[in-house]
Amino acid sequence: MLCLFYCLLTDTKERIYLNVKKFFIDNLSPLKGTKMEYNEKIVLKNGQDCIIRNATYEDGSEMSELFAVTHSESDYLRSYPEEHSFDAKAESEFLQKRAESDREVMLLAVVDGKIVATAGVSALGNKYKIRHRAEFGIDVVKSYWGLGIGKRMMKACVQCAKDAGYQQLELEVVADNQRAIQMYQSIGFVEFGRNPLGFISRYSGAQELVYMRLVL
C-alpha cells in the first residue's frame, strides 16, 4: 500500500513538473517565434537605389563570391578568403535555412541587381538561459563604404531581432576599426569588454577585440 502511494505521489509530482515546464516554454519564452522577414528600398548617399531584403536559396553562388571579395578587402574580419568552407550549393542551403528560420536572418543589400553587402542575426544558442541573446555581423564591399548601407542594414537587423523577441544583440569588432565602432555606438551599442589577443592577423599580429551589446 505504501509503495502504491509513493508511486502515485511520484507520478503526480512529475505531471506537475511537466505541466509547469510546458507553461513556461509556451508562455514565458524570451522568443516570440516570429519569422524574420525584411524588404526595404532606400536611396544611398550617392543617389543610387538600394534594396535591403532577405537572402534566398538563389543567392548562394553570388554570396559565395562576395565572401571572397569582402574578406580580401579588410583585415578586420574573422577569416581570410580561402578559409570559406561553403561552396555555392552549401551556401544556398545555408541561406534557405536562414530564410525559413524564426530565430536567425541573413539580409542582403542589392544595388543595380548586384549584392554589395550582407548582414545577419544569429542565435547565441538554444538553451533557455541564453535564448534572449543574438549575435550581429556585417560585410560591405569596400567601394560601397560610406554610402549609408552599413548603418541602414544594422537598423534592419535590430528591427528583425526585436520582432523575433530577442532582448540583447551582441557583436565583436577590432579595436582599431574606429569607423565601425562609431557606427555601432551611433545606434546604441555599448562596450562591455575587451580581448587583447582576440585575433592574430597575418599582417599586423595581435588584434584587440571590443565586445559590444545593444539592449533591445
Residue 197 has pLDDT above 70, yes or no: yes
pLDDT at position 86 is 87
For the chain, the helix, strand and coil percentages under 3-state DSSP, each to the nearest 5: 40, 30, 30
Using the predicted structure, report yes or no on whether residue 207 has a pLDDT greater than 90. Answer: yes
pTM over 0.75: yes
**Of the candidates 52, 43, 39, which has an alpha carbon nearest to the alpha carbon of residue 138?**
52
**In Å, how far are 59, 73, 175, 195 from 211, measured between CA atoms?**
30, 22, 9, 8
Confidence bin at 14 (pLDDT 50/70/90): low
Residue 120: its pLDDT value, please? 97
| Widest CA span in the chain | 84
The pLDDT of residue 30 is 47
Residue 89 is given by DSSP the state H
Superfamily of domain 31-169: Gcn5-related N-acetyltransferase (GNAT) (3.40.630.30)
Which of helix, strand or coil describes residue 11? helix
Asked if residue 156 lies in contact with residue 38, where contact means CB atoms within 8 angstroms, the answer is yes
CA distance 48 to 45: 7
Whether the pLDDT of residue 138 is over 60: the answer is yes
Give the tens place of pLDDT for each residue, 67-125. 999 999 999 999 999 998 888 999 999 999 999 999 999 999 999 999 999 999 999 99
CA gyration radius, the chain: 21
Q: Domain residues of the chain, as ranges?
A: 31-169
Report the range of poorest mean pLDDT among 9-18, 123-132, 194-203: 9-18
The contacts of residue 30 (CB under 8 Å, 6+ apart) are 128, 131, 132, 165, 166, 167
